[in-house]
Structure 1
Amino acid sequence: MVPSSSSWHTLLLLLLPTCISAVTLDCEHIRVSKKSFDLSPLGGPKTVHYQQYLPPTISNTTFTLDLCKPLKRLSDLPKEEQCPSGTRVCGVEERFNTIEHTRQIDGVRAIAGEFSTSHGSGRALDPKVERLKESSNAEMEGLRIELNGGRYPDQRGGVTQKVVIELHCDAKLTGNEGFEDAEEKMGLDVDSYGGMRRRADDDDDDDDVDGPELPDLDKGKSLQFISYKSEGSDPATEVLRLTWKTKYACENAADLPPSDGEDPKKKKSSGGWGFFTWFIIVFFLLVASYIIFGSWLNYNRYGARGWDLIPHGDALRDLPYVAKEWVGGLVERVKGGGARGGYSAV
């Protein structure tokens, strides 16, 4: 059954929101104010921490970020200790009771991600990218990236979440420093935190206890935690702020020499799409548009059905046979020329 013109119109309206929500952050091709940036070398999970002493517990929130694609679910962790599929930035808060020596998960927050299709909530990543020179810091070279879509708790009335990442230009850093031993810096266990509490109590002679000196789990990292709190005039929005020092935020990053451990050939090969790729994409879109609108026109104007719907349907239907005959003729000519063996007729 061929859909009517009203059905075609309804179908296009249904597909439009999906196309809009598909807008995402393409790390390899970022274009801002006529400046191009390639942030793909920063891809992959990166972690930063926010620790607080909340007697008698120590809170450690681990924020995991993948700038270029959704985070993968880990098979060795329970589902309730991980963010849902589509998450780009996830915060997991652990509470360590230094008296009872217990650990518990106090909250799992999806800070940013694409949830418009998986959860049916219509919450999209909605990335916003701008140069620092045109936003908050006119003297700083780099980018400001805002990612949205999060909500905690993940239910109606939950607090809106988002992350703001300031990438500062630093020609000496790739942005991946400090993550070589990321597994060793994920956090400490109950015994370690309890030991720090006991040492703080032994060293303190006053009644005013400031608590133990918490370890710097992000020491040496290019990515640093700044704050996580409600901001601005909207108290129902919690904002995670991070800074990231990297040479890929420099406007002349393509001219910078490769850093230690970086493959210069890989750097040179990374670039925009070539002319041939764009030609194929545009050609495919034009052909698809021609077939769709041509079929719609044939149906409404001439009442066509089946193959008659498609513009030049007869020619397309005969194309395989024409190609077969052409190939067969070519093969016959090749065989005929070879059989004569170079002799000419007398």
Structure 2
Amino acid sequence: MKPSLRTFALLMASLSAASAAFDCKTLKIAGHAYDLSALARDVTLVSNATTPPTITGTKYTLNPCSAIKGDGDSVPEIDRCPADSWVCRSVTNYKGKEANRVTEVNAVAGGPKSDREPKIEAKTSGDDKPKEFHWKMQGISVDKVEWKTDIKFICDKDKKNDELPVVKKFEDGELELEWRVPAACALGDSGDGNKGSDGEKDKKPEDDKGDDKVSGRGFFSTVFSFLFVGFVFYFVLGLLYNFFVVHATGLDLVPNLAFWREFPYLVMDFSQHIWDIVSGRRRGGYSVV
């Protein structure tokens, strides 16, 4: 039996959807590359509130790169996060020695039979790399209210990628989180990737000043090296000349010995002259002899 045109169209649509699947490793935001794969893990956030005579615990489980793995068979199916959840919210009631009771569990992003994928939104300005962006995804519908998650990623090179996100609020089915990690920095902007041309674009004027300082130090080092090498050559050649030509011995081997004997006094006289000029002692006229 030959496949129908409709079957072929459905196959092509599924292949297209698969090829367009959300990939944390190859995100493009405002034309710049980002890689969130370092965050591809289930993250759990727990908070407890005193609600006499009980304690109410709220747990969020999320994975920004794929559906969460969940608790597996260790938790009854009715108390588990729904299948294909990317962000799950569960509320548990604790009361003394009584058994814990899960009062609420729902997908705040993703969910059963969900074909939705995260959307990335960012405010851009020219060619600047966004320092923050929003990861948004729809969840299930509860009492005709569409649940959803908004994770605000902020580029922070001083943090580590094992930092946990912070719950900002959960209101009317919308969960807002803030996540400061270096993984939220554009590739080539975190100090870990290959910078290429982007690294050159990100070069600051302060970096050029640093290069000028290094260049200045290199110039003076070169001049000093030439002077030192020249002095060594002068001294060695003078010694050889005095030894082989003049047949001098002892201190007489030192080239221009008379000059070097007078050198300390010359330096002292020169220093005194400079000091007199600076201190204003020489203003013309005669000096006492």
Equivalent position of 1:2 in the other structure: 2
Query: Counterparts in 2 of 1:276-295, with a 5 A limit?
Result: none
Equivalent position of 1:302 in the other structure: none
| 1:26-59, Cα deviation, whole Å (9 max, x unpaired) | 1001001101100000110111134333332221
Q: Aligned Cα RMSD in Å?
A: 2.8
Q: Which residues of structure 2 form unaligned runs of 5+?
A: 195-289
What count of residue pairs does the alignment treat as equivalent? Answer: 190
Within 2, Cα distance between the matches of 1:18 and 1:146?
A: 23
Equivalent position of 2:24 in the other structure: 27
| 1:242-270, Cα deviation, whole Å (9 max, x unpaired) | 1100112123x434345xxxxxxxx67xx
Equivalent position of 2:91 in the other structure: 93
1:11 maps to 2:7: yes
Within 1, Cα distance between the matches of 2:52 and 2:15?
A: 49
Of 131, 139, 147, the residue aligned with 2:122 is 131
Within 2, Cα distance between the matches of 1:108 and 1:2?
A: 46
Equivalent position of 1:54 in the other structure: 51
Aligned partner of residue 73 in structure 2, secondary structure: coil
Q: Which residues of structure 1 form unaligned runs of 5+?
A: 117-122, 178-221, 231-237, 259-266, 269-346
| Matched-pair identity in % | 25
Equivalent position of 1:187 in the other structure: none
* Letter in structure 1 aligned against 2:169: S
C-alpha contact (below 8 Å) 2:134/2:150 kept by paired residues: yes
C-alpha contact (below 8 Å) 1:126/1:149 kept by paired residues: no
Equivalent position of 2:77 in the other structure: 79
C-alpha contact (below 8 Å) 2:170/2:176 kept by paired residues: yes
Equivalent position of 2:33 in the other structure: 36
* Letter in structure 1 aligned against 2:2: V
Relative to 1, partners in 2 of residues 1:130 and 1:164: Cα closer, same or farther, differing over 3 Å?
same
Q: Max radius of gyration: which structure? A: 2
Within 1, Cα distance between the matches of 2:178 and 2:11?
A: 37
Within 1, Cα distance between the matches of 2:101 and 2:111?
A: 28
C-alpha contact (below 8 Å) 2:30/2:130 kept by paired residues: no
Deviation for aligned residue 1:174 = 2.5
* Letter in structure 1 aligned against 2:137: L
Query: Counterparts in 2 of 1:128-277, with a 5 A limit?
Result: 128-133=119-124, 141-152=131-142, 159-177=145-163, 222-230=164-172, 238-251=173-186, 253-257=187-191
Within 2, Cα distance between the matches of 1:70 and 1:169?
A: 24
C-alpha contact (below 8 Å) 2:22/2:65 kept by paired residues: yes
**TM-score for the superposition, normalised by structure 1:** 0.49
| 1:207-229, Cα deviation, whole Å (9 max, x unpaired) | xxxxxxxxxxxxxxx31111111
C-alpha contact (below 8 Å) 2:160/2:181 kept by paired residues: yes
